[in-house]
Structure 1
Amino acid sequence: MKTIQKMYEHLNWANQRILETLQNVGADSQQVINLFCHILYAEQVWVTRLRGVDSSQLPIWSEGDIAICAKLIKQNEENFKTFLTDIEKTDLDNLISYTNSTGKEFECSMRDILTHVALHGQYHRGQINSRLRADGIEPVNVDFITFVRMYQRE
């Protein structure tokens, strides 16, 4: 559980760094903003599924703007903090049943879902950084090891 907690601290830190960069450079690339929205909407969908609530009406890919991203970051951080605080270590291997966006049913452990969400965001933050570089903007360092070095957490 300690590792998962740290992964979510990193996730929140990385999302905040991307947001601040997009705000500071006045990112006008809708493609970059849509990728960032996708990360945040997917986080929202997954925490909803982890709670056993139907997520079929929530968007996964939807256009947005920086203000929507800022709002989603706060909501997702609060929702995951509450969720992670409420579960016990033994709950991590419990299976969660959910229906994906195409209507297909699946079962996965909480541990696998939580790991997926953290890795999914990092994958798309890499895509955002690639697009920022192509636009002549310095990519955002969101490496896990940078986060660890900055905060020296155990």
Structure 2
Amino acid sequence: MKKYFLKLYRYNAWANKRVISALVKQQVHDEKILSLLGHVVAAQFLWLHRIKGLPAPDVKLWGDYTLDQLVSMAENAGQQWLEFVESTENFDWELTYNNYVKEPYTNNVENIMIHLVNHSSYHRAQIAMLLRQKGYDPINTDFITYDRVITGQLKD
């Protein structure tokens, strides 16, 4: 599973970086778009802290973030997740935690990690739709596009 998670979390960091680059290039400061991207990144920090048994990070799941803040946050989240995956051998264990409204749950860490990347893809698609609706150019963050880029078949 480690090889799979390395691939998945490298993709996730790449996709977030592509979205941020598109927002910076087009000077997008739309509140809803930035809120969705902030939610993606905040969720990545929240889940990583839960899994690592750390106190909740100082992020808001639905906060008001600037584009400059998101650039730094996304880079940091991607790096921390990759460091975690690289330094961990077993992801097949149960985590008991309280969600953001303090309800208790137990889930397998592998499932949480798969969920987190799917969650990110879901919200990146919403961002793409909003970009198009507001007259901006959305960016392709499909996994197959990532695979084509890293195998040299497509220029990033």
Structure 2 length normalisation: TM-score?
Answer: 0.92
Per the alignment, do residues 56 and 146 of structure 1 end up closer, same or farther by CA in structure 2, a change over 3 Å counting? Answer: closer
Q: Hey, what does 2:61 align to over in structure 1?
A: 60
Match of residue 148 from structure 2: 149
CA distance in 1, matches of 2:57, 2:75: 22
List aligned pairs for 1:52-131, cutoff 5 A: 52-55=53-56, 58-88=59-89, 91-131=90-130
Letter in 2 for 1:68: Q
How big is the shift at 1:28? 2.5
State the one-letter code of the partner of 2:41: L
Moved more, 144-153 or 43-52: 144-153
Larger mean CA deviation between 23-32 and 50-59 belongs to: 50-59
SS across alignment from 2:70: helix
Deviation at 1:92, TM superposition (A): 1.5
Q: Contact 2:91 / 2:110 at 8 angstroms: preserved in 1?
A: yes
CA displacement at 1:56 relative to structure 2? 7.5
C-alpha contact 1:56 1:100 (8 A) present in aligned 2: no
Shift of 1:57: 5.8
Offset of 1:50 from its aligned partner?
Answer: 0.9
**Counterparts of 2:140 and 2:57, CA distance in 1:** 33
Q: Distance in 2 between matches of 1:114 and 1:146?
A: 21
Percentage identity across paired residues of the two chains? 25
In the alignment, the residues of structure 1 paired with residue 106 and residue 54 of structure 2 have an alpha-carbon distance, to the nearest angstrom, of: 14
The Cα of 1:60 is off from its aligned counterpart by 1.0
RMSD: 1.4
- Code of the aligned partner of 1:146: T
- Residue-pair matches, total: 151
8 Å CA contact 1:49, 1:55 repeated in 2: yes
SS in 2 for 1:93: coil
TM-score by length of 1: 0.93
Tell me which amino acid in the other structure corresponds to 1:31. Answer: K
- The aligned residue for residue 35 of structure 1 is 36
What SS is found at the alignment partner of 2:91?
helix
What's the secondary structure of 1:97's corresponding residue?
A: strand
- Structure 1's unaligned 5+ residue stretches are none
How far off is 1:55 after superposition?
A: 2.0
Q: CA deviation at 1:93?
A: 1.2
Does structure 2 retain, via aligned residues, the 8 Å contact 1:52–1:96? Answer: no
